[in-house]
Structure 1
Amino acid sequence: MGTHERWTRLLEVLGDKGRIEVAEAAELLGVSPATVRRDMEELARQQLLTRTRGGAVLSGVAYDLPLRYKTARQADEKHRIAEAAARLIPPGAVVGLNGGTTTSEVARELATRADLAEHGAGISLTVVTNAINIASELAVRPHVKTVVTGGVVRSNSYELTGPLATPVLEGISLDYAILGVNAVDARLGAAAHDEGEASANRAMARRAEKVIVVADSTKLGRRAFAQVCAVGDIAVLVTDKNAPEELVGQFVGQGVEVVCV
């Protein structure tokens, strides 16, 4: 288990339990107590947890993990989901992408798709995003026209949010919106932890002809603070093959096409 994977797992446990002891963490991660102490000290230095005598407790920012620590979570599943979602986009489409680990993978898949790169002279795809990391990766692709919203950068997700983010979205039309979310429920729809992110993502969904939600199976049937869109607004849900059949059936029953990969 690599360093960032250890840190991610440690922060996940803290998010669930609120506190953890060194000995417990060492057993969970399969490393020595000395390694755990070093990890905790470094994460405390980054203000992602608070050290206590013999362990650590949850810090205020640890509930919604920074993007760089989310990357290792469900990595294989997210890659398969991204590949499947990217295949749904035809050449010439206008696509909205919000921030997140899965949508960042979707952006990479779109950027390197052979039929798009070889589509001929000019623009083969237009991507509208409020995520500065996605914009940075796509900016070097001459066949992709990259449009970035305004807004204030949210450090956890690299997303631009706030009142400066929505005017751009309100003035355009999208063929597809591919949205990564923190939770998606067959009754409550898709949601995010942060209301600012949810607002920008909601604006993106409203401007799209078709909404595609990309979410690994750990996010299905869960709730989050701020709604992004209702389940009736979701055309396709792309998830992984570990999704429980009962939950998949609930989405299908609501008219959502579910792709399990």
Structure 2
Amino acid sequence: MQRKERLRQMVAAIVGQGGVEVETLAKLFSVSAATVRRDLEVLEKQRLVTRTRGGATTHASFNDLPLSYKTEQDTLEKRHIAREALKFLADARVIGTTGGTTVSEFARLLMDRDGLTIVTNALNVATFLVANPRLRVFSAGGEVRSSSQETVGPTAESFMAGYNIDVAFIGVDGVDAAAGCTNYDPVGARVNAVLREQARVSVVLADASKIGRVALAQVCKMSDVDVLVTDSRASEIALASIRAQGCQVLTV
């Protein structure tokens, strides 16, 4: 296993359990304790974990994995979700997007499009799509979240509120029938909420790992979402509860 992948999985293990011992990580990744300690030092410098005596815990300021760590998770499923979402472009002239890895995969599929206007608060999406001169790209200002490369705050909210969107493609951290769509960052959740409110149709793109998860701040109720596109690994019980809220669910 390459170090980059080991670091990604190590962060996921520590976040998932809240804290892990060095010896446990050494056995999990079949490396020496010295190698684990060096890896933890790297992750601590990135403010993802805090080293403790004999192990590591989630860093106090941590609320989400950086985009670079999430990009390689469930890549195939995210690409399938992105392709399924293309069907909602049929009559759209103006679309809005948030950031996130699944939405970013969707954005990559727009490079061969003509005459489409994209409104986004994701810097990576805007930077990628502006290379196509046949697209019009409008990018929100505001504070930039380093973990997701999205702009957030009052400036981004006001920007989003100024556009009439045909279809919004929204990435979230959690999707639950009772809690709705949620994000770890309350400020980012508000920007997503404004984008959804400005759209005639809202499409949430979320892989199966997000289904049933509840993050800190609500973006919207499930009844406010028109379509959820996810993958076939998601719990059918959870999806049935989401459908009961009036949200169309597509699985790939």
Question: Normalization by structure 2: what TM-score?
Answer: 0.94
Classify the secondary structure of the residue corresponding to 2:117. strand
The equivalent residue for 2:89 is 89
Aligned partner (choices 132, 155, 165) of residue 174 of structure 1: 165
| Greater mean deviation of Cα atoms: 219-228 or 4-13 | 4-13
- Listed as ranges, the gaps of 5+ residues in structure 2 are none
Equivalent position SS for 1:150? coil
For residue 139 of structure 2, what is the aligned residue in structure 1? 148
Give, in angstroms, the shift of residue 54 of structure 1. Answer: 2.7
Give the secondary structure class of the aligned counterpart of 1:210: strand
* Counterpart among 198, 206, 231 of residue 240 in structure 1: 231
Contact 2:92/2:166 (CA < 8 Å) preserved in 1? no
- Contact 2:103-2:170 at 8 Å conserved across structures: yes
Q: Matches of 1:256 and 1:92 in 2, distance apart? A: 20
8 Å CA contact 2:110, 2:129 repeated in 1: no
Q: Quick check: 1:204 aligned with 2:195?
A: yes
Cα distance in 2, alignment partners of residues 147 and 177 from structure 1: 14
Aligned-partner residue type, residue 41 of structure 1: E
Aligned-partner Cα distance in 2 for 1:86–1:30: 41
**Percent identical:** 42
Q: 1:227 aligns with which of 218, 221, 230?
A: 218
Distance between the aligned counterparts of 1:161 and 1:57, measured in 2? 27
Q: Report the AA paired with residue 90 of structure 1.
A: A
TM-score, structure 1 normalization: 0.91
Deviations 1:79-126 (A, max 9, x none): 2111211232126521111011111111111224xxx2xx4xxxx211
Kindly state the Cα deviation for residue 48 of structure 1 after the two structures are TM-superposed.
Answer: 1.9
SS in 1 for 2:111: helix
Equivalent residue, structure 1, for 2:41? 41
Q: Against the structure 1 CA distance between its residues 61 and 105, is the aligned structure 2 distance closer, same or farther, given a 3 Å change threshold?
A: farther
Provide runs of 4+ in structure 1 moved above 6 Å. none
Query: Aligned partner of 2:196: which letter?
Result: A
